[in-house]
Amino acid sequence: MLIWSALLGSLVTFAALATAGIAVAPRRAASWYRLMFVLLIGGALMINTGLLHALWHLPASVQAWLRSFAGPLAAGVSLHYLGLWMGGMREDPVVDRVTRWGGLLLCLGATVLALAALILSPTVSRAVLWVAATLSLLGAVLAVLVSLRGAVLRDPLAPGMLLACASMTLMTAGIYAQSLQLPGVGSGIRALTSLAALVFFAIATALVDRRARDNRRLSRLSHTADPTVEPATGLPIGAMLVSEIEHAFWRARRQRCQCAVMCLHLRNLYELNRDLGTAGDYQILVAMAARIRRAAGFRCVVGMYHPRCFVVVINVDQPGQSPEMVLRRLSTFACEPMTVLWTDMKPHTFHPEVGLAMTMADAAAASALEVLNSTEAAAQSSDPVLPQSQVDTML
């Protein structure tokens, strides 16, 4: 019980941090999601380890009823939250379907188990608990597979989430081994389970906060070009950009697929220089970089060939990232007006005029620099693009 008590103290700390996040930003949905996540997982841990019974001396029937559905319910909600964190339908339709329907089925399973525990005889409570353990482990395994898919598709935060989900699987197995009183479960297993739980909560909450900060920053930069915000776009330029495109071609050759190279040419970048000087185009580039990254996602190459030309490179067979879909998002986000501010001057509204072009490159034979030059020239000579309009595609 001493080990479980130490785990309880850690859970209270995570819950306090989540509550503090709500106090700081009560209107952010992510803050409420985080608190619900900690309470659900923490509640399931307390129920299945016996901590809840030790604190409040619940009747055995009530304790058995809570154990019948707490684990699957927590697993279903966590799987749904993981799908939202991975980007949902925008990033990967397969992951979205797995997490959405998997979470829904786990929650339905938890409801059925709760009703069964109320209706059936207490003599079958162990069988109900076995079913709950199976469903909870199934949810943990699905979370591991989803995180693994994100890592394979080059989501930069997915490897960390994969470690967190693996720790959650170990934690779930240990918790139900304790609840089912399986032979060989001693203080060593309990200590390992508690350690896995702490690793899971620490990594998962840190990654959720990181992704939320990135999304808030991109949203802020894409709506208003604020001169007080540090740009830090991180977009590769020059030789680094060409190197990353060549690396994308190399990956495409291994996967035996084509690469789509897209160029967005910003024609009126220096339109506000008469009023704002160079500060105007600097702010516009920061906002445009954020918009293009939001439109393209986190799993492809995004760079800047020169100040007027942004580049996006994706693998054609990458799930959820078809070239046509990315182009539609680029034409929608990039052409929206933006507000440019500078010291005590009045705000200026900037209407981007862009040209878009795309080259479907055969990665086995194409030269990255040649494809980049030809696509940039096509974007420069193309007609101005309006949101949702068609773009010139060179096959």
Residues 203 and 332 in one domain: no
| 231 within a domain of the structure (yes/no) | no
Strand partners, 260: 314, 360
Q: Which band of pLDDT confidence, cut at 50, 70 and 90, is reported for residue 320?
A: low
Residues 334 and 244 in one domain: yes
Residues 213 and 242 in one domain: no
Would you give the distance in Å from CA 359 to the centre of its chain?
Answer: 28
For 79, half-sphere exposure in the C-beta direction (CA atoms, 13 angstrom radius) is 32
> 16: which residues sit within 8 A by CB, 6+ positions away?
none
Residues 277 and 367 in one domain: yes
| 23 within a domain of the structure (yes/no) | yes
- Bridging pattern class, strands 338-340 and 224-225: parallel
- The three-class DSSP label of residue 265 is strand
Domain span including residue 146: 2-223
Residues 214 and 252 in one domain: no
| 134 within a domain of the structure (yes/no) | yes
Residues 212 and 317 in one domain: no
Cα 234 from Cα 257, distance rounded (Å): 27
What mean pLDDT is predicted for residues 34-51? 80
Instruction: Please state, for a pLDDT cut of 70, what percent of the chain lies above it.
Output: 87
Cα 143 from Cα 168, distance rounded (Å): 9
* pLDDT exceeds cutoff 70 at 5: no
Q: What is the pLDDT of residue 6?
A: 65
Would you give the distance in Å from CA 133 to the centre of its chain?
Answer: 27
* pLDDT exceeds cutoff 90 at 106: yes
Which of 29-33, 262-266, 357-361 bottoms out in mean pLDDT, i.e. has the lowest? 29-33
| 233 within a domain of the structure (yes/no) | no
Residues 79 and 177 in one domain: yes
What mean pLDDT is predicted for residues 295-321? 82
Q: What is the pLDDT of residue 29?
A: 74
From 192, 223, 254, the end of a domain falls on 223
Secondary structure (DSSP) of 302-326: EEEEETTEEEEEEETT-TT--HHHH
- Longest CA pairwise span in the chain (Å): 83
Cα 36 from Cα 31, distance rounded (Å): 9
Q: What is the pLDDT of residue 228?
A: 44
Q: What is the pLDDT of residue 389?
A: 43
Residues 219 and 263 in one domain: no
| 230 within a domain of the structure (yes/no) | no
Residues 76 and 139 in one domain: yes
Higher pLDDT, 124 or 7: 124
| 228 within a domain of the structure (yes/no) | no
User: Residue type for 386, please?
Assistant: L
What mean pLDDT is predicted for residues 158-183? 90
Residues 210 and 311 in one domain: no
Structural domains counted in the chain: 2
CATH number at residue 276: 3.30.70.270
Q: Are 197 and 171 in contact (CB under 8 A)?
A: yes
From 223, 247, 265, the end of a domain falls on 223
| 196 within a domain of the structure (yes/no) | yes
Q: What is the pLDDT of residues 180-236, one digit of tens each?
A: 888 877 888 888 888 888 898 889 888 988 988 888 877 776 765 544 444 446 688
| 268 within a domain of the structure (yes/no) | yes
289: tokens are 């970089």
Residues 32 and 141 in one domain: yes
From 199, 223, 247, the end of a domain falls on 223
Would you give the distance in Å from CA 119 to the centre of its chain?
Answer: 40
Using CA atoms, how far residue 106 sits from 74, 112, 127, in Å, is: 9, 10, 17
The position carrying tokens 């319910």 is 73
Q: What is the pLDDT of residues 55-82, one digit of tens each?
A: 777 777 788 888 888 889 999 999 999 9
Residues 191 and 300 in one domain: no
